[in-house]
Amino acid sequence: MTLIAQYFVTGIVTGCFLILATIGFSLTRRVEGFLNIAHAELLGVSAFVTWGLNVKMGWPFLPAGLFAIVFTAFFGLIVGRIVYDPIRKLGPAVLLISSVGVAYVIGGSVDALVGTGIRSLNIPLATTYRFFGVRITDYQMIVVALAALTGLSLAIFMTKTKTGLAIRAMSDNPGLAASRGVDVQQTSRATWLLASGLAGLAGVMLALIATLSTDIAFHQILQILAVAILAGLGSLYSVLLAGLIVGVAMDMSVYFIPAGYRPLIAFAVVIIVLFLRPEGLSGRKSK
């Protein structure tokens, strides 16, 4: 029983990480209207910037992580401006295929700069706490807290601030938003910054709770896709629930089937959802 509870708690942590990783992806899908396969590579960029500053340059973890988030945000913005903006008129399929090329370029660059091998940050070992026999480390708690905080602040940002409102207006009807005086260019830039910054945050969390290798980014995109589809492509709040479902399902599956099939659960989710309810949890019809 304790073992199941343990898997459940680990699943929640995985789920919270997936929420952080997916929100930016869904935001891009909603505002820019395409699936950015290269989103996961941004997690890799951020994780390895953190690693480089922390281990190679000897920075403490916190400034290294903060710098990585800001760096990734602007990096994502630049990629969006240079690569995606000029081809937007060619439609979502071309953008999707292009983003595979972007993923190749970013992934290859990280490979060339960092090299293969397994790495971890230069931080104190995680302290483990026990609650009723269930273990959780302090780093895992940080991930959960940050996911909750991000969900909350995103909700406030989207409903209360002018930029947030502009993003929502633009995602629903770009033409109408533009004619009502929303600065489309600027809103698009804000979206890229926000989405990439969130990827940066997820990347720092990844560096915190996992060991790093350069193929790590590719494994994340599979799970991000699963969460985004379960949530309904482009919806934001249902990402919170979908992330938890996929995370818990993946980690609890280890109790019943061989651990090698754990990534498969994410894909089983994709296939089942697309057959039964292609619009996802949110019920929003995709455009």
Characterize 14-40 residue by residue with b for buried, 16 or more Cβ atoms within 10 angstroms of its Cβ, and e for exposed: bbbbbbbbbbbbbbbbbbbbbbbbbbb
Return the number of other C-beta atoms located less than 10 Å from residue 60's C-beta.
11
Single out the residue of 55, 66, 70, 83 in contact with another protein (rule: CB under 8 A).
83
Single out the residue of 6, 61, 70, 92 in contact with another protein (rule: CB under 8 A).
92
Give me the least distance between CB of 260 and another protein, in Å please. 4
Single out the residue of 57, 112, 118, 125 in contact with another protein (rule: CB under 8 A).
112
Q: How far apart are CA 166 and CA 186, in angstroms?
A: 10
Q: Could you say whether residue 75 binds another protein (CB under 8 A)?
A: no
Q: Could you say whether residue 62 binds another protein (CB under 8 A)?
A: no
# binding residues, another protein (CB under 8 A):
42
CB 207 within 8 A of CB 76: no
Give me the least distance between CB of 17 and another protein, in Å please. 20
Give me the least distance between CB of 218 and another protein, in Å please. 8
Single out the residue of 130, 256, 258, 285 in contact with another protein (rule: CB under 8 A).
258
Please write down the long-range contacts of 187-191, taking CB distance under 8 Å and 24 or more positions apart.
187/31, 187/163, 188/31, 188/32, 188/80, 188/85, 189/77, 189/80, 189/81, 190/163, 190/166, 191/27, 191/28, 191/31, 191/32, 191/167
Q: Could you say whether residue 256 binds another protein (CB under 8 A)?
A: no
- Contact positions vs another protein (CB under 8 A): 34-35, 83, 86-87, 90, 92-94, 96-98, 100-105, 107-109, 111-112, 115-116, 218, 222, 225, 229, 233, 258, 260-261, 263-264, 267-268, 270-271, 274-275, 278
